[in-house]
Amino acid sequence: MIAPKTVPDNMPPIVHIVDLDRVVPQPLPEAAEQRARRFVQHESALRFRQRRTAILSLVQAEGVGALQWCCPICQGRDHGRPAATEASISSSSHGSCLVVAIDRQRRAIGVDVTAQHAPADAEGIARMLFTPVELQQRDAAGWSVGDEFARIWSAKEALGKAHGTGLAVDDSAACGGRLDSLHHAGSLIALAGLPAGLVGSLAVLE
């Protein structure tokens, strides 16, 4: 297992940035192994095993107790969000980059990492999920200019994870709603130290 990178030092939750290409998959609990075997593509199964291996290793290194996954919808134990007995945990990955946040204070946290460049359907996504004030952050030439779309998107994803709802809330586009990235700016931290081309956010709900 590689030595994880922790940034920044003064952030209350510990944030690890891991290069999955350097993670050698280890044997996983049976529920996770069964899930890995359901992937059709070998590359997807490999990434799943690398992510689980890295998260398990980090939790063990931090000494925050036993780790398990639980889906808030179906209560399944082979997927969903990770949780340790002595810390709250959130993770996100994009390509070979895995980000894992661990909070010993067991606050509600959420982390997200995404590509810096806006997707082709950014306009439609923004109209559906962004608040009127968030929409004003768009460059006159469109979301393809700059990284504002990615920063807003990752912030909303992080807030959704912290609330345990994801983006499936009825007030995603409402000013002052649970996922309003500008209204809740005080609960958000922009991640530093990510690989080039990526942006990320950490949400911490007190």
The per-residue pLDDT for 10 is 52
Mean pLDDT taken over the chain = 90
C-alpha 119/C-alpha 75 separation (Å) is 32
Q: How many helices (H) and strands (E) does the chain have?
A: 5, 9
User: Of all residues in the chain, what percent carry a pLDDT higher than 90?
Assistant: 76
pLDDT higher than 50, residue 17: yes
Q: Is the pTM of this model over 0.85?
A: yes
pLDDT, one tens digit per residue, over 21-59 is 999 999 998 888 999 999 999 999 999 999 999 999 999
75 vs 174, higher pLDDT: 174
- DSSP 8-state secondary structure symbol assigned to residue 21: G
The per-residue pLDDT for 69 is 84
Residue 194 near residue 145 (C-beta atoms within 8 A)? no
The per-residue pLDDT for 11 is 54
pLDDT band, very low/low/confident/very high, at 7 (cuts 50, 70, 90)? very low
- Per-residue pLDDT, averaged over 128-148, amounts to 94
The edge-to-edge listing of strands for the beta sheet with 67-70 is 5-6, 14-19, 97-103, 87-94, 81-84, 67-70
Q: Could you count the other beta carbons within 10 Å of the beta carbon of residue 24?
A: 9
Q: Could you tell me the two tokens for 186?
A: 């005080």
Which ranges of the chain would DSSP assign to H, the alpha helix?
A: 30-37, 42-62, 122-129, 132-135, 148-163
Residue 78 near residue 105 (C-beta atoms within 8 A)? no
Residue 58 near residue 4 (C-beta atoms within 8 A)? yes
The per-residue pLDDT for 1 is 38
The per-residue pLDDT for 161 is 94
Q: Go through the domains of the chain in sequence order and give each one's CATH number.
A: 1-106 (3.90.470.20), 107-206 (3.90.470)
End-to-end CA distance of the chain: 32
pLDDT higher than 90, residue 196: yes
- Per-residue pLDDT, averaged over 78-93, amounts to 89
User: Taking Cα atoms as reference points, which of 193, 196, 157, 198 lies closest to residue 16?
Assistant: 193
Q: Could you tell me the two tokens for 34?
A: 């069964």
